[in-house]
Amino acid sequence: MFKLALKSLFSRKKIVLLVFISLSLSVLLFLAVQRSSQISRDSFSRTISGTDLIVGSRTGSLNLLLYSVFHMGNAVNNIGYEEYLALAEDEQVEWAVPISLGDSHRGYRVVGTNRLYFDAFQYGAHQNLEVGSGELNFESPFDAVIGANVAKDLGYKPGDSVILSHGVGKFTLQQHDNMPFEIQSVLKPTGTAVDNGVYVPLEGITAIHIGWETGMQTRTVTVEHALTRNLEPDSITAVYLGLKQRTAAIRMQRDINNSEGEPLTAIMPGAALYDLWRIMGSAETIMSGLAAFVVLIGLVSLLTSQLAVLEQRRREMALFRSIGATPGDLFKILFYESLIVTAAGCISGVILLYGLQAAAQPLFRANGLYAPWTLLSLMEWALLAVTMIAGVLGGLVPAFAAYRRSLSDGMTIRS
Amino acid sequence: MTTAIEINNMEYSWPGQSTPLLKIADFQVERGESLLLQGKSGCGKTTLLSLLAGINTVDRGELKILGKEPKTMKPVDRDRFRGDKIGFIFQQFNLIPYLTVTENITAPFLFSKDSSIKADHKELKDRAAELLTHLDLKIDPEKRVTELSIGQQQRVAAARALITAPELIIADEPTSALDDDSADAFLKLLFRETEKLGSTLVVVSHNRALESSFPRVVKMEEINV
């Protein structure tokens, strides 16, 4: 009888195909909303760990988190370099890493920092950065260390030289082509925003901006000339802090936020992420709700198509009755039909999900998101189960209609 | 040996009807008999058929098919009994459009309780092919039935009615969609095959031209009072 249901569906290819497509797409949407939020949560959570505070100029905590860690958006203001020096000297601070943003290389963000960054920065479950190839030289102002994606996408290896661009973006940027940097090493992949970074010493950032004091290039200086200058920066974008005692973070955050000097903002990455989830969470709920409705619409279209052809199938049902089919048999045939279409929609939705993930992989990478090839999560199985249950319940409607009708029709159609 | 059909003081009315549509005092069909049941449309032919098929059951009196009384059986058993023991041929659109010739002919086994035959696809196929030869049908058994002519379709329908070797074959206006020559040929085949099986044949029709072919002709007006 299962085969019979299949053949019957095949005889209505066009309509069934359309319903199948709408179901597949709606299941895809349902799953994709779930998976993309999972991917962004996982990636954001794993990007930074072991950093107790991030200090930047006065701004919203989310904004500071996004630009300083995820390289999303731009800093409104910088903070004085002396602020960094003061923080580094603070007796509660174990380590302080300066971060200077604002330049780029072919779409990848340039991060000015110091040697300590590579030892202190941690991601995931307190994992340290590791060097994949080359030597971790970071002493000369024109040394550069690049993330794994940058090396892979642009085909760079240690020894190559790179020219940084003023500002961020992909096109029509002015080049700092008077001072090339030499790649010293490539970091191992981390699956975080680190992979998309080009890391150079703060002194290098200062050097390439000699002659740019007005924000525009007014004169060109040579490398030799630059090296004779004091390359200590005036300002930086943010500071990552590791504290001797993590419990001191809250008090220190308050102290920094209330300090009388330069207006600063300190955030605890974990707490800021929590804020982010809260905001994203409600958006996700809305999205999931909408996706669920789309699935419902898909199922209703299945129901509609089944009920619509039921009238045309009365003759068929009557024939089945004449050769010994019980009303229950007809119920089963109709029920199997709905079940087959729903199951096929679910399966193809899952296949499309992985296809979409493959297609979106470059986008994830470019944004420093980590989208591993995982099997269906428990949540995704649950969504599929909900869809199947709804499909089964929906399938009962035309099945029951066929049952009822065959009781009154019998072998002949009574109108 | 019991009778094929036995009706005594039977009454039936559709729900909501006050006077019975059918009221048959005494009507019998012996086993192996070929009978033409004649009547105008609206005289209760169709209703009688659904009673014989066990789709509906009588309100009063007795109706026995092949020695059994459908009224005393469970609905599911009535359906299976019909599938196994009675073969039906209708006027037109007798076939499931999305199945092949073979699939249509063997369709009764989809619902049959007799699972031994059901499982043996080879056996089913052979039986279907054999019937096609008997019915002078030279068509591809894997063809979709929608590609056949009306005459061919009626023969496929006959094959389907015969494949279970039913004890009773009921044909409702089986020839009215056919031209005279084909109708004649079709009836001859039907007689031949039912005779081979030793089955009882009841043909229901309003067509008086068929009368001459049947040893016994019964008019609905005569039995329905």
Residues A12 and A68 both lie in one domain: no
Q: How many residues does the structure list for chain A?
A: 415
Residues A37 and A60 both lie in one domain: no
* Residue B20 belongs to a domain: no
Residues A63 and A25 both lie in one domain: no
The pLDDT of residue B178 is above 60 = yes
CATH code at position B200: 3.40.50.300
| B93 interfaces chain A, CB cutoff of 8 Å | yes
Task: Return the residue in B41, B52, B55, B106 with the most chain A beta carbons within 10 A, the one to mutate for interface testing.
Answer: B55
Residues A261 and A287 both lie in one domain: no
Residues A37 and A73 both lie in one domain: no
Q: Is the dihedral of CA A392, A397, A402, A407 positive or negative?
A: positive
| B128 interfaces chain A, CB cutoff of 8 Å | no
Residues A127 and A180 both lie in one domain: yes
User: Per the CB < 8 Å rule, is A320 touching B75?
Assistant: no
Give B-chain residues touching A405 at CB under 8 angstroms.
none
Question: Could you say which of A238, A267, A296 is where a domain stops?
Answer: A267
**Chain A residues interacting with chain B (CB cutoff of 8 angstroms):** 1, 4, 7-8, 10-11, 315-316, 319-329, 410-412
* Residue B130 belongs to a domain: yes
| B111 interfaces chain A, CB cutoff of 8 Å | yes
User: Per the CB < 8 Å rule, is B46 touching A8?
Assistant: no
Which pTM value belongs to this model? 0.76
The pLDDT of residue B18 is above 80 = no
Counted domains in chain A: 2
pLDDT in tens for each of the 415 residues of chain A?
788 888 888 888 888 999 999 999 999 999 998 888 888 888 888 888 889 999 999 888 888 888 888 888 887 788 999 989 999 899 899 999 999 998 888 888 999 999 999 999 988 888 899 998 888 888 888 999 999 999 998 999 999 989 888 877 666 667 888 888 999 999 998 888 889 899 999 999 888 888 777 667 777 777 777 777 788 888 899 999 999 988 888 999 999 988 888 889 999 988 888 888 888 888 888 988 898 899 899 899 888 888 888 888 888 888 888 888 888 888 998 899 999 999 999 999 999 999 999 998 888 877 777 777 888 888 889 889 999 999 888 888 888 888 888 777 777 655 4
| B167 interfaces chain A, CB cutoff of 8 Å | no
Question: Could you say which of A267, A296, A313 is where a domain stops?
Answer: A267
Residues A246 and A361 both lie in one domain: no
Angstrom CA distances, A31 to A170, A283, A314, stand at 32, 15, 38
Closest A-chain CA to B83: A324
> Among A245, A258, A396, A259, which Cα is nearest to A335's?
A396
Predicted local distance difference test score (pLDDT) of residue B1: 58
* Residue B14 belongs to a domain: no
ipTM of the prediction: 0.88
* Residue B52 belongs to a domain: no
Closest A-chain CA to B99: A7
Q: How many residues does the structure list for chain B?
A: 225
* Residue A72 belongs to a domain: yes
User: Are A39 and A369 a contacting pair, CB within 8 Å?
Assistant: yes
* Residue B78 belongs to a domain: yes
Predicted local distance difference test score (pLDDT) of residue B134: 81
Predicted local distance difference test score (pLDDT) of residue B117: 59
* Residue B79 belongs to a domain: yes
Chain segment B22-65, per-residue pLDDT in tens = 888 888 888 888 899 888 777 788 888 888 888 888 888 888 88
Closest A-chain CA to B81: A324
Residues A215 and A76 both lie in one domain: yes
Going by C-beta distance under 8 Å and a sequence separation of 6 or more, which residues neighbour residue A120? A50, A51, A95, A97, A240, A242
d(CA A169, CA A43): 23
* Residue B6 belongs to a domain: no
Counted domains in chain B: 1
Residues A59 and A38 both lie in one domain: no
Q: Is the dihedral of CA A145, A150, A156, A160 positive or negative?
A: negative
Give B-chain residues touching A323 at CB under 8 angstroms.
82-83, 88, 107-108, 110-111, 160
> Among A143, A308, A73, A333, which Cα is nearest to B98's?
A333
Task: Return the residue in A322, A403, A404 with the most chain B beta carbons within 10 A, the one to mutate for interface testing.
Answer: A322
Predicted local distance difference test score (pLDDT) of residue B55: 85
* Residue B21 belongs to a domain: no
Residue type, A41: R
Distance from CA of A351 to the nearest CA of B (A): 29
Residues A313 and A201 both lie in one domain: no
Q: How many pairs of residues across A and B have Cβ atoms under 8 Å apart?
A: 71
| B112 interfaces chain A, CB cutoff of 8 Å | yes
Q: Could you say which residues from 21 to 80 on chain B have a Cβ atom under 8 Å away from some Cβ of chain A? A: 46, 49-50, 53, 55-56, 75-76, 79-80
| Helix/strand/coil for A78 | coil
Tokens 């949540």 sit on residue: A379
* Residue A395 belongs to a domain: yes
Tokens 């009238």 sit on residue: A311
| Helix/strand/coil for B156 | helix
Residue B19's pLDDT band, with cuts at 50, 70 and 90, is confident
Between strands B34-38 and B200-205, the pairing is parallel
> Among B61, B49, B56, B53, which Cα is nearest to B23's?
B61
* Residue A197 belongs to a domain: yes
| B90 interfaces chain A, CB cutoff of 8 Å | yes
Residues A36 and A60 both lie in one domain: no
* Residue A274 belongs to a domain: no
User: Are A307 and A397 a contacting pair, CB within 8 Å?
Assistant: yes
Predicted local distance difference test score (pLDDT) of residue A344: 94
Residues A342 and A370 both lie in one domain: yes
Give A-chain residues touching B110 at CB under 8 angstroms.
1, 4, 323, 325
Of all residues in chain B, the percent with pLDDT exceeding 70 is 96
Domain that includes residue B100, residue range: 32-44+74-223
> Among A153, A142, A201, A138, which Cα is nearest to A176's?
A142
Chain segment B73-112, per-residue pLDDT in tens = 888 888 888 888 888 888 877 888 888 888 888 888 888 7
- Angle among Cα A279, A282, A286 to the nearest 5 degrees reads 140
Domain that includes residue A8, residue range: 2-43+283-409
Closest B-chain CA to A1: B110
Predicted local distance difference test score (pLDDT) of residue A156: 92
* Residue A275 belongs to a domain: no
